[in-house]
Amino acid sequence: MKNFSYLSMVLAASAGCVWTAQADVLGAKASYGKNEIRLYANPLAYEVVRDGKTMVAKTLIGLKLDGACQKDAALVSTKTSALAGCVKTPVYKKAAVCLGGNETVADFGDFAVRLVARNDGVAYRFELKKAATVNCENAGLTIPSATARCWMNRTNAFGCEETMPEFANAGDLKTDAKKHIYLPFAYTVEGQMVAVTESNVHNYPIWNFKAVEKTADGVRLGSVFETYPKKTQRVGGWGNDYCAKGGRWVKITDHEDYLVKAAAGATLPWRAFVLADSPAKLCEADLSYALATPAAKDADFSWVKPGKVAWDWWNAFDNLGDPQGCTTKTYERFIDFAAKNGVEYVIFDEGWSAKLNIWEYSPVVDVPHLIKYAEEKGVGIILWMAWAQVYGEEEKVASHFAKLGAKGFKVDFMDRGDAEIAVFLEKFAAACAKHKMLVDYHGVYRPVGLHRTYPNVLNYEGIHGLEQMKWGKVDKDMTYNDVACTFLRMTAGPMDYTPGAMLNYKIGAYKGNGQFPGSVGTRCHQMALMALYEAPLQMLSDSPTHYEKNMECFSFMAKVPVVWDATVGLGGCPECFAAIARKAKDGAWYAAAITNKDARDYTLDTAFLGEGEWKAEIFRDAPACDETPEKYVRETKVVKAGDKLALRMASGGGFIVRFSK
């Protein structure tokens, strides 16, 4: 635990600036389609409007630079221009992203505020002209109605974002002295959806909300950021101190009283607001991706190969137990299984190196032999490591293991939200890109656009994923978690949720099992996550032994694509169910849905399909699922676009359909 007061740190970061006056001078705005973002001056404030409705009420913003508040800076000039174009996406939920919109730059002398409006949302950011110490940023949010329904996650540690989603009306939100709200944060106003997120975080802390205040304009959430680290300490494993050459964390023991020292020309992150007519349409938004810095024009990422991964840790090394199952023989078993079934990768999770030291192999895991063994069978090896083992040696790590033949890294336990960790994430992504290595950032905050700059960064955790079920509790409502994450966390980008459990339990019947873990909800709920969730490096979390006993389900899951040409939101809401259709590169369509603890009948409208007849391969909950969640029905039908399929989802259930010509 950190040895400083959370509250005192927050107060130190914001001391000296008081934003209390009401902004009344409209300085600039950006409008596009239904959406508009307005900037007020004297003092600075912003407002978001969609189709004439206020989605974010007027909220004061500002910076404290070199000890001076910038809230009352005089507006020098404004310039509005059109945004245009379309970019192909090497690794994404769509084949291409439209960049159309309008932007306005409001110049305040030493800094500027840039506004952007697009069909899928709006955003603003501060841009600095001179080098400066950013002491604090005021980036609050005012929800215009106390009756607005809100969905959120809270955490007591910056950057550790693996909690269950919560929901409440805005008027019922309260300040939690020990926790803050992390993004994305979503709410609804008169049927319209807002999802608050951010993009293009470079050398800057992530954006969070803390204090809740009832105002005449609505319910205001105050912003909070982690200040820059002054002192850090390497911390080892669970009760073990392996810090000399590795460790698990680099934890902050003392903070500076500022957020970051920014260079001249620095751009702060985008404060982004995804806007949609319904919850279902949030999954179609590209706002975060479009706002992010594109990859360098001369960069070649054609070598990036997304795919499925056979994973060892969740299933305790093919159910042999942890750590005794972590051996060369077990990994040969995983590699053989992957090669036989067309699974592109195998992850070596914790245990392949000795005592959290990546420069020393476990005496019972022959890593060089296994990498060569896998390569001969067409399987790539991805190596897990805690970030403390990489920190400060990013180039050395990427170069060494690339020469060894590994295909990438799963980096874990960052669990921080300050500017230094943002620099590390980008620095290691760049080093890995140089050596053609993939990256899966586990133990990290939500995506903030880095995967556009470096398409070799495929996954991010920042989610209460299936790994939590190894120590699951009877009262844990994972089916609600799974539904809510579709609308909440996935709005930010790809998720390292790690689905695919074959041991499926009724709600309230599962207590957690480290060696033979399972999931809450039905088999088809797990299968649906393969297409419902974005994950260019999608893990198949269960053991080869369990998959071999369930090959009909496994073979289907293994063939579900991990990148897409199109994404269409079909229906749902964060507290009930989620349904999405996606178009594969080969022209096939997948439709998938999951429900919460409530069983429900769902009519799948196939209007998204093209002309002609399609073969629908359906996996749906069996009538016996109420008592035996592993039961399912597989059937095929011939359909045409616009046909409607009646599908029943059991409690905690789901379905997945593949449509092929």
Active-site pick, 467, 477, 482, 496: 467
DSSP labels, 109-150? SSEEEEEEEETTEEEEEEEESS-EEEEEEEE-EEES-TT-EE
**Contacts within 8 Å (CB) and 24+ apart, 255-258:** 255/4, 255/9, 255/12, 255/226, 255/227, 255/228, 255/229, 255/230, 256/227, 256/228, 256/229, 256/230, 257/12, 257/13, 257/135, 257/227, 258/13, 258/133, 258/134, 258/135, 258/136, 258/227, 258/228
Residue carrying structure tokens 């499926």 = 504
Q: What is the pLDDT of residues 180-200, one digit of tens each?
A: 999 999 999 999 999 999 999
**Contacts within 8 Å (CB) and 24+ apart, 231-237:** 234/388, 235/388, 236/356, 237/356
Per DSSP, what are the bridge partners of residue 122?
117, 273
Note the pLDDT of residue 462.
98
* pLDDT for residue 14 is more than 80: no
Q: What is the pLDDT of residues 373-399, one digit of tens each?
A: 999 999 999 999 999 999 999 999 999
Spans of all domains in the chain: 6-227+260-291, 307-563
Report percent pLDDT > 90 for the chain: 91
Q: What is the pLDDT of residues 444-465, one digit of tens each?
A: 999 999 999 999 999 999 999 9
Q: How far apart are CA 341 and CA 586, in angstroms?
A: 19
Active-site pick, 226, 412, 426, 440: 412
* CATH, domain range 6-227+260-291: 2.70.98.10
Q: Which CATH superfamily is domain 307-563 in?
A: Aldolase class I (3.20.20.70)
Note the pLDDT of residue 11.
37
Which is higher by pLDDT, 367 or 21? Answer: 367
* pLDDT for residue 6 is more than 70: no
Note the pLDDT of residue 5.
35
Q: What is the mean pLDDT of the chain?
A: 94
pLDDT band with cut points at 50, 70 and 90 for residue 148: very high
Per-residue pLDDT averaged across 208-216, rounded?
96
Q: What is the pLDDT of residues 407-417, one digit of tens each?
A: 999 999 999 99
pTM: 0.95
Phi first, then psi: give them for residue 235, nearest 5 degrees. -125, 135
Answer for the pair 175, 219: CB distance below 8 angstroms, yes or no. no
Residue type, 301: F
630 noted as active-site residue:
no
322 noted as active-site residue:
no
Proportion of the chain in helix, strand, coil states, percent, rounded to 5: 20, 40, 40
Q: What is the pLDDT of residues 317-333, one digit of tens each?
A: 999 999 999 999 999 99
Could you tell me how many residues make up the chain?
661
